[in-house]
Every structure is written in structure tokens, then in C-alpha cells.
Amino acid sequence: MVFSKIFGKSGASDAPRQDEPDDEAIEAAEPHRESWLARASQSIVGGASTGSKRVGTLYGGDVDDEPTHFVRASGCHIETTEGDSLIDCTMALGSVALGYAEPQLTRAVIETIASGSISALSPALEVEVAERLCAAVPCAERVQFMKTGAEAVSAAVRIARTYTNRDVVIGCGYFGWHDWSSDAEGVPAASRENFRRIKFDDIADLEAAATAAGDRLAAIVLEPVIERLPSKAWIERARKLCDASGAVLIFDEVKTGFRLATGGYQQYAELTPDLAAFGKAMANGYPLSAVCGSAELMGAAVKTWISSTLASEAGALAAANAVLDWHDRVTVCESLWSIGKEIRESVAAAAKASGAKGVSIEGIDPMWFLKFEREEDERAFIRAAVSHGVLFKRGAYNFAALAHDDDAVRDIEAGASAAFVDLREQRER
């Protein structure tokens, strides 16, 4: 059941649909995709500062007339520089769970920054939000705010290494671009030596890595959901290995926090880590993350050095505070599961009805994905869907938001259906 069925057209759906683009805004933006893409390519590394928003990642290659930039985002709709409106199923890589420009949250941010968003002192709001986060997250007794998910997970690893006085970290998942877990170009070999990557939900691999690390094991860091929920046995084994060795169990809840449950996978599964990293939907797209955990472990943060000038900037804290208000008033995460189920099933029905071959719709309801047997089919579908008014994520999750109301779900199904038909006809030619 989608949010509008439960609560009518209020809440996240209060934001204007903006079905008609603002003419002045579009004109000011120079409504030509070529000019914006060309300008971006000349001034921004890779054409976009966020890797997932680069053309090759979005569409799987060079673009023809697909959009690359927007001028407005409202609810689950984005207006492109060409004046077109798209229903967004990516929701900014899962960082937005309520909806773009959610009115109550936006008012809270504006009112806060009007009084000054930063100063030489910490804002009182930092304390209030930290207290509420500790109440919402099972493992949280102390909190330190950062700006990005990568920062928060890196901080958790630093805290674990400081607390244990050990160096080896075992990990499963994507933790951002920082050196400690990256195998990208430019990362020193010495940084890689102390990180062991393991397979998702593979107990034997986990045990082998822990055995190899021996008494050097500082932490096991897990992204608890990777395309599907893990077996409880895998998480419980990680918990027991940490308890037996004195290592720290860390959950990367950047995607799962405020989505599977307010307190993340740990609340959903009733399995508590020692430390956890939150971000994305915690502030509905505003730049804020947090590392949190037991008081004893978090105390190690002041023995090392973890600090960011804008970590307690009040605008993002106001956004998180407003998100927590939503979670206090409304069953946000239950609604995300329900809305995601409707969207996922509607896209699956569209694929079946169109006769599309070589595609499946997988994942869990709040964060699902399209899986194609042929990469060229995926590229063709994503581009066709955009031409029919729907933006799906290529090669990664699509995320439900409260702003995906009944009309949006119907439009997503219609756009997916038309795109699958285009794909089938293209393959038949």
C-alpha cells in the first residue's frame, strides 16, 4: 500500500508535483543538453563530481539526447534542463526516502540556517539530534557526526583500530572511496595489506579470513544487505568471532538505516553490532552521516583524531531532526517496504506483459534492482525508460520513497511497460 493510501495526499506529497516546469528556471538553465554536458566535461572531472551521475554510469556509454542535469527536484519528480519531467526511482542513490524538497523538512532547514548554520561553537541542535539518534539506534550510546557515509565508516574503522590496538580489518561491501578498503589506482599497497575482503553471506570465507588475521584482527565490517538479506547465521557468526577475539563488529548502515527500519538492519534483524555508520536517508539527502556505538568503544575516538570542520553544520542537523520527527509520527519504514513492493511488482508485471526476455526484478522491497542477462539490453531499457518519463538506476538499486504516490506508481509501470516493449521490438529487428 503506498503512502497516499495510508495518509491521503498530505506529508511528503504536499510538495508541488511541478508537472509543468518553471519557464524562467528552464530558460535560465539554457535548455540544451549538449551545452550542459559539454560545459560539465570542460570544468568537472569526469563531467560529474559523483561517479554514479557520470554519463557512462548513468547510461552505459555516450548519450544521445538523454538528460544529464536537472533544475528542480520535488517529491519524486525531477525537471531536466530540457524542460522534461522524470519520475525518479533512484532517489539520489537512496539518500532521499521522504521525497525531494519535502515541505516540513525544508522549512526546518531554512528556519535553522536563517539563524546561522555554523559558528566557533557547536550548535545546540547537535546535542538534540545526537540524543534522538541514540534513542533510535540499538547500538548507539555515543555519536559523532560527519558529512558522508565514507567518512563515517572510515571513522568506525579508525575507532576500532584505536580501541583494539590492532590493524587487520575484514570487510564485505562497498564502503566508499577511502584508501583503507579501496583497490583503486593510487592507493598504496601498504594500505591494502591490512584489509581482507570476504564474500557476502559466506560463513566459510568469513571464518578463514578471521583465522588468517589471528590476533591482529581489529574489526569485521559488514554491509548487511547486498542485493538480498543475509542469513542470520552469517551475521551471528561474525558477532561470535568478534566476541571471541576481542575484535569490533561494525555495520555499514548507510543504505539500510532509516529505510529497512529507523535504526537500520540491526533493529530490523535484532542483531546488534558494536559500531555502526549511518548517512543518506538519515537527513533525507542533506550532507550528514554519523558513526555511533557503545560508550566504551566510542571513547576511543578522542584518543585518535577524527574531526571535520563542517561535521556539525546546523542545516543538515535540522534535516536529520525533521526526519526523526517523521519517524516518530509515521511508520515511515513500513511504508517504504509497502511502496517498494508495489513498484517492484508493477515493474515485474510490465516486463511479463511486454514479453521481455532476459530480465528479472530482484532485491528487497525498499531497495530493489533490475538484472539483465545482456548489458546492451540494460542500456537500451534505461534509455527507453527515460524517453517514457522514468529514471531507473543502471546496475544498482532503485529506492522507494514516500513521495512515490499512487499516480507515480502507475506512471512507473506505464513507463517501464513502454520501455520493455521498445526493448523487445529492438531485439526482434
Give the pTM.
Answer: 0.90
Name which residue leads in pLDDT, 10 or 23: 23
Helix (H, G, I), strand (E, B) or coil at 274: coil
429 contacts: CB under 8 Å, gap ≥ 6: none
- d(CA 80, CA 69) in angstroms, rounded, equals 6
In one-letter notation, the amino acid at residue 65 is D
Residues written for the chain: 429
Q: 60: alpha, beta or left, given left = phi > 0 and alpha = psi -120 to 50?
A: left
Cβ burial, residue 311 (10 Å; 0-12/13-18/19+): buried
For position 64, what pLDDT does the model report? 83
Task: Copy the grid coordinates of residue 232.
Answer: 542470520
**Class of the CATH-defined domain 103-329:** alpha beta
In this predicted model, what pLDDT tens digit does every residue of 39-62 receive, in sequence order? 999 999 999 999 999 989 999 988
pLDDT digits (tens, 9 = 90+) for 125-148: 999 999 999 999 999 999 999 999
Asked whether residue 8 carries a pLDDT value surpassing 90, the answer given is no
Nine cell digits for residue 102:
519535502
Contact 64, 57 (CB under 8 A): no
Cα–chain-centroid distance for residue 378? 21
Q: Can you give the pLDDT at residue 61? A: 86
Of 341, 343, 300, 276, the residue nearest 140 (C-alpha):
276
Give the pLDDT confidence of 73-106 residue by residue, as tens digits.
999 999 999 999 999 999 999 999 999 999 999 9
Pure H helices in 29-175? 33-43, 55-59, 91-94, 103-113, 124-136, 149-164
Give me the helices (H) in 246-313, please.
265-269, 295-298
pLDDT at residue 381 is higher than 60: yes
Domain ranges for the chain: 12-19+75-101+331-429, 103-329
Does residue 29 carry a pLDDT above 60? no
Q: By percentage, how much of the chain surpasses pLDDT 90?
A: 85
| DSSP bridge partners of 73 | 78
Q: How many CA atoms lie within 13 A of 165 on its CB side?
A: 0
427 confidence band (pLDDT: 50, 70, 90): confident
**Structural contact between residues 323 and 281, judged by C-beta atoms closer than 8 angstroms:** yes
- Are domains 12-19+75-101+331-429 and 103-329 of this chain identical in fold? no
Region 313-334: mean pLDDT is 98
Fold of the 12-19+75-101+331-429 domain: Aspartate Aminotransferase, domain 1 (3.90.1150)
Among 10-14, 201-205, 423-427, the least confident range: 10-14
For 296-303, what is the mean pLDDT? 97
Q: What is the pLDDT of residue 426?
A: 83
